[in-house]
Amino acid sequence: MRKNKEWKRLQTVVVKFGGPMLATTEKIVQVAKKVIKEQGRGINLVVVVSSMTSIRQNLRQFASEITHEPSKREMDALISTGAQITSVLLALAIQEHGGKAVSLAGWQAGIQTNEKYGNARIDSIDNKCFEKHFDLGEIVVVSGFQGITDTNNISTLGKGGSETSAVALAIALNAERVDIYSTVEGIYTADPQLVEDATKLSVISYDEMLEFSNLGTKILHPRAVELAKNYNMPIVVRSATEDVEGTLIKGDVDMEKNLLVRGVAYESDIIRLTIGYDSYETASLAEVFSVLAENDINVDIIVQAVIDGIKPTISFTISKLEFAEALRVLESSKLSLGFSFADFEVGLAKVSIIGSAMASNPGVAARMFTRLGRQHI
């Protein structure tokens, strides 16, 4: 058993594995061997896991077969078990292959949240329980995406919950860094599955990663990046299968300052919603977006059209996943919002260029549209 002061001298690293890397028991065993090797470098190791995709889908299916309108509290209690099952299986695999491990649900790991079920925010983390496990030389496997409220109810963190859990735990444990293991080797200048000559970035700033995340890149959720930026917690995105250098996400980046454009992001399945009013006096952007925000619906590109002789409109884009909920919210609030009609357009996509230096270097947009024009886009 290691003494308390000894574990505190060791560096702590938090690693996160997503559902695709834990989809089967065979893959869970591969992850177990990887984290045992990682701990062997002489560190305290915390592993945050997402739910196996098949388990999460089955849990939602079970609920839908019983009710079409489940309570958010009960759904959080149900969905949270998916990551708990995964964390137990990984802990068992680590033990089976010669390592020491313990699995912790979010509440056991001291993750305290507010009571916004389905989209909770982390208020604080009590890290005292980790000390005894580090003393025993155990790898701590934490169920991501979840916590507990002040009223002792299980909560889930919504989109990006697992990587947000990992970053929050790293901050609470004063860890050296967070390693996000992915199906790709790092952050690329474009999606390597779409662009063959896309190149991997060795270093990227928090601000540039936020742009990538907000504009379509699915590797890291903006919540996790924002939290890491606020506490200056380094993140490394790396491959779960290849032993290669990943991409370091940190503060100001000194390297490659000459690159005005660091990358291109792409997002499909965009839907544009348009709300029309009989007169400008009845059109209120604040009221529309307040109602959507109260229902946790994120909007992106916003355009307000006020033209003489034409009824004013407000258009905004949302993701395909939130389309049905957005329509329901708007329809139920139609009288209070005062709009006369709503329309939508599907099958849209968004392409964005990214680079923190673009703001002080004019002409980038002109080059982009010139390139698009040459391809008749």
Q: From its phi and psi, is residue 265 left (phi > 0), alpha (psi between -120 and 50) or beta?
A: beta
- pLDDT at position 281 is 65
- pLDDT at position 253 is 66
Neighbouring C-beta atoms of residue 69, cutoff 10 Å: 4
The answer to whether residues 191 and 215 touch, using CB atoms and an 8 Å cutoff, is no
- pLDDT at position 4 is 41
- pLDDT at position 1 is 32
- pLDDT at position 233 is 97
Structure tokens at 163: 């990587």
- pLDDT at position 3 is 38
- pLDDT at position 279 is 73
The answer to whether residues 145 and 157 touch, using CB atoms and an 8 Å cutoff, is yes
**β-strand partners of 202:** none
Give CA–CA dist 33/45, Å, rounded: 13
Structure tokens at 312: 């004013």
- pLDDT at position 352 is 86
- pLDDT at position 105 is 97
Q: Which residues of the chain have pLDDT under 70?
A: 1-9, 253-259, 280-283, 356-357, 359
pLDDT digits (tens, 9 = 90+) for 309-356: 777 888 889 888 888 888 888 888 888 888 888 888 988 888 888 876
Rounded to 5°, the CA angle 277-279-285 comes to 55
Cβ neighbors of 197 (< 8 A, separation 6 or more) are none
Instruction: Give CA separation, 20 vs 51, 183, 208, in Å.
Output: 9, 8, 25
Strands 235-239 and 313-319, sheet pairing: unpaired
- Side-by-side strand order, sheet with 313-319: 302-305, 313-319, 263-276, 341-354
* Verdict on whether the full-model pTM lies above 0.85: no
Q: How far is CA 57 from the centre of its chain?
A: 18
Going by C-alpha positions, the residue among 48, 76, 75, 59 that lies closest to residue 148 is 76
Structure tokens at 265: 């992001």
The answer to whether residues 25 and 89 touch, using CB atoms and an 8 Å cutoff, is yes
